[in-house]
Amino acid sequence: MVKAREVKPVPGRKTDVCDAQWRQRLHEYGLLRASFQPHGESATLRSDLRQRERLLEAAAAHIQPMQKALTQMNLQLQHVVADITGQTGLRIIRALVAGERDLDRLAALRDGRCKTPLATLCAALVGNDREEPVFALAQALELYEIYQAKVAACDERIAAGLERLQAQSPPPAAPLPPPRRAQPQANEPAVPVRAALHAILGGDLTQIDGIGPYLALKRVSACGPDLAAWPSAQHYTSWLDLAPHNKISGGKVLSSRTRRSGSRVAALLRLAAGAIGRTQTALGALYRRLAARVGKAKAITATARKIAVLVYNTLRHGMAYADPGASYDEERYRQRVLSNLRRRAKLIRPH
């Protein structure tokens, strides 16, 4: 497959068929660069993950009808429970659909991790027993659970694909380090993703700030278990459109903005960069310093590029990342400023 950017300057032919044949011949002679496409198990894993994302989007479309039906029944469950699709919310909704109306029995379905008091939960479940919203609630719940069952089937395929990738990879040299976060991420596959990726990649990408098991899995599905297709980290960040795209004319830089990108990996890295800005880490300090100087949009792009470089160095060069802390970036910036001031002072000639 040829990159669309490569065929833009190529002169076309009179018909679409002739134009396609002409581009195929140019690509056969090596005059057009091919776009990167994952092969083998990585391509299968990418397809399964994208199907899973579509199913999650379809399931999320039925959460709002459930909330609307609860509101029509004058039940304020969504105001006392963080997520009605969690353990507590789904237990209560299933009981309501089954015909249970006793407040004490409904409140007793609360999960042990729920912090809402029983009295508050009972007060939120006082409502009417109209037939129409109960019917709508039952149908929305049924559709939501159907999609969740399909998501579980995708998780089984993802687990099987990870096992096949593990069989093709040598065992890691170092043991799996302890996780940085105990709580799983939202909508994370119900498979041991972190341990499987450590066995496949030989390193733990989740030690990098902003990279969770689900994001690491999506990166492997999009770019493969290794990054041999990119000779350096600069090539990798340029492929992600996270590096400046300099437009130069007559030796003058007209623009250095990054190109618009449809890469899903780049979009995920940008989301991770935005979340990192609220942490007391070296990457968080970098984001806050850049945001104060050039704005949040450019700071997100620069931080996302930094994360991509760390990912590349981890996979290609076996780097083991350890967060040095927020003070590390601040001290490096301070030393760089002092060095620049000393250099400028030496250039000043005495009168």
Contact 258, 243 (CB under 8 A): yes
Tell which residue, 325, 322, 269, has the closest CA to residue 300: 269
Unique residue bearing structure tokens 């909508």: 187
CA 66 to chain centre: 27
Q: Is the pLDDT of residue 30 over 90?
A: no
CA distance 168 to 160: 13
Pairwise pLDDT comparison (134 vs 4), residue with the higher score: 134
Contact 300, 270 (CB under 8 A): yes
Burial of 56 (0-12, 13-18, 19+ CB in 10 A): middle
Secondary structure (DSSP) of 203-259: S-GGGSTT--HHHHHHHHHHH-SS-TTSSSHHHHHHHTT-S---EEETTEEEE-PPP
- Average pLDDT, integer, range 180-200: 82
Confidence at residue 3, expressed as pLDDT on a 0 to 100 scale: 64
Confidence at residue 204, expressed as pLDDT on a 0 to 100 scale: 86
Biggest CA pair distance of the chain: 93
% of the chain at pLDDT higher than 70? 95
Tell which residue, 25, 30, 39, 34, has the closest CA to residue 4: 34
Task: Please tell me whether residue 15 adopts helix, strand or coil conformation.
Answer: coil
Confidence at residue 349, expressed as pLDDT on a 0 to 100 scale: 65
Q: Is the pLDDT of residue 254 over 80?
A: no
CA distance 319 to 310: 8
Task: Please tell me whether residue 9 adopts helix, strand or coil conformation.
Answer: coil
Residues 6+ apart with CB under 8 A from 115: none
Q: Is the pLDDT of residue 181 over 80?
A: no
Neighbours of 282 (CB within 10 A): 21
Q: pLDDT tens digit string along 72-106?
A: 999 989 889 988 998 999 999 999 999 988 998 99
- Average pLDDT, integer, range 112-133: 89
The values of phi and psi at residue 270, to 5°, are -65, -40
CA distance 349 to 351: 6
Q: pLDDT tens digit string along 57-69?
A: 999 999 999 999 9
CA distance 113 to 315: 37
Confidence at residue 4, expressed as pLDDT on a 0 to 100 scale: 60
The values of phi and psi at residue 113, to 5°, are -85, -10
User: What sign does the CA torsion over 268, 270, 273, 274 have?
Assistant: negative
- Average pLDDT, integer, range 205-225: 88
Angle at 226 between CA 224 and CA 232, to 5 degrees: 115
How sure is the predictor about 338, in pLDDT bands with cuts at 50, 70 and 90? very high
How sure is the predictor about 258, in pLDDT bands with cuts at 50, 70 and 90? confident
CA distance 339 to 224: 41
Q: pLDDT tens digit string along 293-317?
A: 889 999 999 999 999 999 999 888 8
Confidence at residue 329, expressed as pLDDT on a 0 to 100 scale: 79
- Mean pLDDT score of the chain: 86
Confidence at residue 2, expressed as pLDDT on a 0 to 100 scale: 64
Tell me the C-alpha to C-alpha distance, in Å, between residue 179 and each of 114, 188, 199, 309, 313: 24, 15, 15, 21, 20
- Average pLDDT, integer, range 162-179: 84
